[in-house]
Amino acid sequence: MKQLVKKLQDRYGYAWTVLQGLVKTDFKLRYQGSFLGIAWSVLKPLMMFCVMYVVFGKFLRMSDGTATYPVVLLLGISSWQFVTEATNVGLRSVVDRGDLLRKVHFPNYIVVVSATVGAFISYAINLVVVLVFAIIARVHFTWRVVLLPLNIIELYAITLAVTLLMATMYVYFRDIAHIWDVLQQLVFYGMPIIYPLTYVTDRGGMLADIARLELVNPFAQAIQDIRHNFIAPETQPTIWNQFDNWAIKLFPLVFTAVLLWLGIHLFRRNSRKFAEVM
């Protein structure tokens, strides 16, 4: 056992030290010069929540009519905020850290991971805020909260997979950043985040069947599972209770694992050429 620990320390100890340094530096620089500083990591999703709740919840009445809806909406927005922050910063991380990568020898993937970890720290802070709002709203927590870490790990895994792929492509094609700006808006409005899935499924028919297929999207599936297990298991549909076919149920998990493997593989294969291309 000691030999195994020593081997892991020898192989990943330096990388872990570099990762810690980059995460601390990035997190400090992110809010440097800002009057409110780290508070913006909470204020941004809160401000977006207020706008979405007023527009979709009050004016358009796209609500499930439950007392937990505002907290569920806030949790969904905070979760997607993590995805966008991690991918937007992470896809540029290799190019932005080009000078450092040329001068200091360490695994290139560290700069991508540090970007996602920095976003994850903000997400963790937001989860605490969501918990406070949930307690105020008198949410009835169930045993399913023990599954929450697994759901969050899955959301991080699919986010890291997409970030690794885009960071690799961004080195060669700067247009990836602009394409992703458009795609993330399409993905966001195509998922049941600002509107409850039941708003569509309760109407029945072919439209309801199409709406359920949104849960095949790993991002939507992970976020819905987080909402279901954390806040509202009674009102939040998930892929586990909307489909009987296990092939459909397991598709997001399998797709996430395959995409993460592909992201790591392509990034490692091209990482040696990054310095030359940049």
Kindly report, residue by residue over 228-253, the tens digit of the pLDDT. Answer: 999 888 888 889 988 888 999 999 99
- 100-154 residue pLDDT tens: 666 666 677 888 888 899 889 889 988 988 898 888 888 888 899 999 999 999 9
pLDDT value at residue 276: 64
pLDDT value at residue 236: 86
Instruction: Compute the distance between CA of residue 40 and CA of residue 34 in angstroms, rounded to an integer.
Output: 9
The answer, yes or no, to whether residue 98 has pLDDT greater than 70, is no
- 48-65 residue pLDDT tens: 777 777 776 666 666 766
pLDDT value at residue 100: 66
Mean pLDDT score of the chain: 82
The residue length of the chain stands at 278
pLDDT value at residue 14: 63
Cα distances from 199 to residues 61, 208, 211, in angstroms, run 10, 9, 10
Let me know: does 221 contact 190? Beta carbons within 8 Å: no
Task: Provide mean pLDDT across the span 80-107.
Answer: 81
Task: Provide mean pLDDT across the span 207-234.
Answer: 88
Instruction: Compute the distance between CA of residue 71 and CA of residue 232 in angstroms, rounded to an integer.
Output: 9
Instruction: Compute the distance between CA of residue 227 and CA of residue 222 in angstroms, rounded to an integer.
Output: 9
- pTM for the model: 0.88
Query: Among 22-31, 133-142, 175-184, 212-221, which stretch is predicted with the lowest mean pLDDT?
Result: 22-31
Angle between helices 218-230 and 246-271 (to 10 degrees): 120
- Could you tell me which of 154, 157, 161, 219 has the C-alpha nearest to residue 190? 219
